Amino acid sequence: MARAQGPYIWDADGQRYIDFCNSWGASILGHAPSAVTSAVARVARRGLSFGTPTEAESILGQLIQKALPSMARMRLVSSGTEAVLSAVRLARAATQREVLVKFSGCYHGHVDSLLVKTGSGALTLSSPDSAGVPPTLAQRTRVLAYNDIEGVKELFRREGQSIAAVIVEPVAANMGVVLPKPGFLEELRAVTTSHGALLIFDEVITGFRVAFGGAQTLYKITPDLTCLGKIVGGGLPLAVYGGRRDLMEWVSPLGPVYQAGTLSGNPVAVAAGIAALTQLKQRNPYKALDHLTAWFVEEIEALAHDAGLSIRINRIGSMWTLFFNNAPVVDLLSAQRSNNSIYSTFFQQLLEKGVYFPPSPYEAAFLTTAHSRAVLKKALTSIEKIFKKLPIQ
C-alpha cells in the first residue's frame, strides 16, 4: 500500500480500495484524520524523541485513566506485544508464580510464553507454536478453549496454587470475532480472585473500539491488569499496560520488575494518542457506529441468504467477522469448521473489485467514522455480485 485517507487505501499501482481492515482496527477515525495528523506535525517540529518523560504523557494517562478506572497506574510502551510481555512479567513477580493460562485462538503478540498450542488434551502441557520458542518456556503456559469456564475451573482445581495469571481477550478477535458467553468473564474474575491469581485483559483491539472504556466497561468487569494498543496510539506505535496501584508499584523504579524503552512514550506517538482519544471523547461515535455496522452486516446476511450461502457474522459494535459457516462460532474449534476455501475466493474477488477485507478468515473487520452509508452501499454491490458466483455450501 502507498497511502490512505478516510475509508480508502491505495496500493502502489494506484488502485483504490474500500478498507475494512483499517490498520487492524487502529484507525477508528478513518485514515489520516486531520485532528491527528495536525497534532503529529505540530509536535514533530519540536523534536521526535527525548528519552525523558514529557507533560503530554501525563495528559494521555489521565485520559486513559478516566476511561478505564481499573488502570490506577500505567506505563507507556511501543507495541501491544511489549505491553503484554511486561504485564506477564509483572504478574509472575507479584504472585511469585510461573504458570500462565491463555485461550486457544486468542493472540497476545509474539511473546515467547504465549506463542503456544495445546498438547493432546486441554489440560496437558503446551508446546511451541513458533520456531525459536524453548519448549521449557512454553510448558509454563496452559491453553484452554475460549468460553469453556468449566475447563478453567478444573485447571484451577488441579494447579491453582501455581497459576500467576489468566490472560484473555475479553472479546476474542484473532480467531475472528468471538463474543464471550454470558457469565464467562464474570466467572474468570471470580475464579482468579479466589485462587490469588491475576486477571489480565488484553484490550489491544477492544480498547476504545467497542466502547470508550473498552470491553471492561461494557461488561462491567474489573481486571487486575490491562493491555492497550492500536487506537490508544492514534495510528502510531504506542501501547500501554497498567492496573491496580499495588501491582504497578512492583515496576521499577518503585519495585524490582524492570521495564524500559527509549521510544516509550515518545512525544509524537503520545500526541497522536491524545488527539485520537480527545476526538472520540468529544464526538462519542460509538452508538452511531454500532447502528451503522448493524445495518451493514444485516445487509450482507440478506445478500448471502438470497444467494443460498450459509454464513455467520459475529459482531460487537464496529468490529465483526464473516464466517462461511452454518453453525454458531463460539471458540477456535467452531471457527475452524468454517469454509476457508470459499473465504479465500471471496477475499480475492473482493480485492479485484476494490474492496479490502481481512485476508485471513480468522481476523476481524472494522468500520470507522469515515465509512458512510454511500461507501458501504458500493461495497455491498460488489459483495452481492461475488456472492452470486460462489458455490452454494
DSSP string, 283-348: H--HHHHHHHHHHHHHHHHHHHHHTT---EEEEETTEEEEE--SS---SHHHHHTS-HHHHHHHHH
* More confident: 129 or 190: 190
Q: What is the pLDDT of residue 122?
A: 34
* More confident: 141 or 120: 141
* pLDDT 10s digits, 243-255: 999 999 999 999 9
Q: What is the pLDDT of residue 113?
A: 78
User: Judging by beta carbons within 10 Å of its beta carbon (0-12, 13-18, 19+), is residue 125 exposed, middle or buried?
Assistant: middle
128 touches 141 (CB < 8 A): no
Question: How confident is the model over 1-23, as a mean pLDDT?
Answer: 98
Write the DSSP symbol of residue 208.
T
Instruction: Select from 229, 197, 247 the least CA-distant residue to 24.
Output: 229
Please give the grid coordinates belonging to residue 385.
Answer: 455480485
Secondary structure (3-state) at 80: helix
Judged by average pLDDT, the poorest of 22-31, 131-140, 196-205, 346-355 is: 131-140
Q: What is the pLDDT of residue 132?
A: 81
pTM (2 d.p.): 0.96
Q: What is the pLDDT of residue 128?
A: 67
Please give the grid coordinates belonging to residue 160.
Answer: 491453582
Residue 322 has pLDDT above 80, yes or no: yes
Q: Given the C-alpha cell 492500536, which residue does it identify?
A: 230
Residue type, 263: L
Q: Which residues are catalytic?
A: 107, 202, 230
In the chain, the N- to C-terminal Cα span, in Å, equals 33
